[in-house]
Amino acid sequence: MVWLDFQTRALVAEPQLDITIQIDSDDEALKAAATKATQSGGIIGIPFEKYKDGRGFTLARILREEFGFQGEIIAFGHVVPDQAQFLLRTGFTKAEIGDEARFEAWLVALSRFQLHYQPTALHQGLGRKAYIDQRVENLNTQLSGAQNLQERLAIIKDYAKATYGHIAFSTSLQKEDQAITHALFSGLFGKDDAGDIKIFTLDTLRLFDDVIATIEATEKQYGITIKRITPDQAELAELVAQNGENGFYESVENRKACCFTRKVRPLSKALEPATLWITGLRRGQSDNRKDIALAKWDHDHGVMKINPVIDWSDEFLEAYLADNAIPVNPMHERGFPSIGCEPCTRAIKPGEDIRAGRWWWEQKDDSQKECGLHVATDQPSHSDQPLKGATA
Ligand code: SF4
């Protein structure tokens, strides 16, 4: 038998069930079980004889909401990933998941539904939208009050734990990303905590050699592996067949199609198991980013998006990098403040906007200078905004 802990998202040894309740237990029996388990610190097990039998959810909900049971409730028997939403919502802490091959499916299911189980919110009569708005507001208050990047990352970590979250950090090896990488993996953050963070980069297969070298230098310096997320081969072949290898020069539409295939789609896949997404966005990077918040609910990916260096100045960033001997891409010294794919990025002249070298052949409207990874989800909005598709 294989057991999954919903909070740590790890496989665990078979738990010692202290109290197993019958599926047809009445209120009196449930109350007695809750009292006994509370007094002894014991674990309550609820059987699921058939996966279509939802009585176990009702029993758990009654234990939590009627009798205030705060300890562990475990589901055993026939449970499937599709039931993750109900297991979380009704307060289960672990489940017997059959065999190890189902582990990934369970992780994905738990991530998707992590915001649904919020007993406090439910008790307060809050719906999902109100709950998310409240979370965003609280996070922004907490993060803006933090004294430094480490404190912000600690808040992020606590949030992830409280929401059974999986943290993803997307790096494009820009200076801001390198500062966050250092804060996460230099030992300041704690090796165990950093080990839970999935760091990845979108390898569009059109990157500069210096970007690849910076990835490797960063991995070496911090003893980490930065996962390269590449485009789907079939989708890429279709794009190239349709628009050519460098069709992005011909129209904004073609360029956005290329960014969609090489960046936006792979990002969505990379964020599928995540509940919290850390980025290196900074308001000073462009006018288009000047209103971005520290924390924002990302509708497109169903994650809490956090930008922990959003309010750093150029000077502060440079000092942080220098003081900590953080590796940076040597191209920055050659006039590339913002680095994307090789065919779409060139050096800028003194006085030009720092993103002027991105897709330089297109019109200069700053709103065009995005690839679709951040535009839609970072416009000022609230969680009742309709879901949007990709922006490319
Ligand atoms: S930046 Fe250029 S090469 Fe890279 S994905 Fe976008 S259009 Fe394609």
**Lowest-pLDDT range, 149-153, 216-220, 353-357?**
353-357
> Tokens 């994307």 identify what position?
340
DSSP helix/strand/coil, 83:
helix
* pLDDT at res. 352: 86
pLDDT in tens, 134-186: 889 999 999 999 999 999 999 998 887 766 567 899 999 999 999 999 999 99
Confidence of residue 86 (pLDDT cuts 50, 70, 90): confident
Q: What is the dihedral of CA 119, 124, 126, 128, to 10 degrees?
A: -10
The rounded Å distance from CA 341 to ligand 1 centre is: 6
* pLDDT at res. 234: 94
- Residue 307 burial by Cβ neighbours in a 10 Å radius (0-12, 13-18, 19+): buried
The rounded Å distance from CA 380 to ligand 1 centre is: 26
Alpha carbon nearest to ligand 1 atom 3, residue: 341
Alpha carbon nearest to ligand 1 atom 4, residue: 341
Alpha carbon nearest to ligand 1 atom 5, residue: 259
Residue of 172, 174, 201, 204 best suited for mutating to test ligand 1, as the one with most atoms within 8 Å of CB: 204
pTM across the whole model:
0.67
Query: What residue ranges line ligand 1, CB within 6 angstroms?
Result: 204, 206, 248, 255, 258-259, 262-263, 340-341, 343-344, 371
Which long-range CB contacts under 8 A does 129-134 form with residues at least 24 apart?
129/383, 129/384, 132/297, 132/383, 133/297, 133/382, 133/383
* pLDDT at res. 319: 97
> What span, in angstroms and rounded, lies between the C-alpha atoms of 9 and 167?
12
Catalytic residues: 371
> What span, in angstroms and rounded, lies between the C-alpha atoms of 2 and 99?
6
Residues 6 or more apart from 67 whose CB is under 8 A from it? Answer: 30, 31, 34, 35
> What span, in angstroms and rounded, lies between the C-alpha atoms of 191 and 186?
9
The rounded Å distance from CA 361 to ligand 1 centre is: 13
- Mean pLDDT taken over the chain: 84
> What span, in angstroms and rounded, lies between the C-alpha atoms of 241 and 385?
36
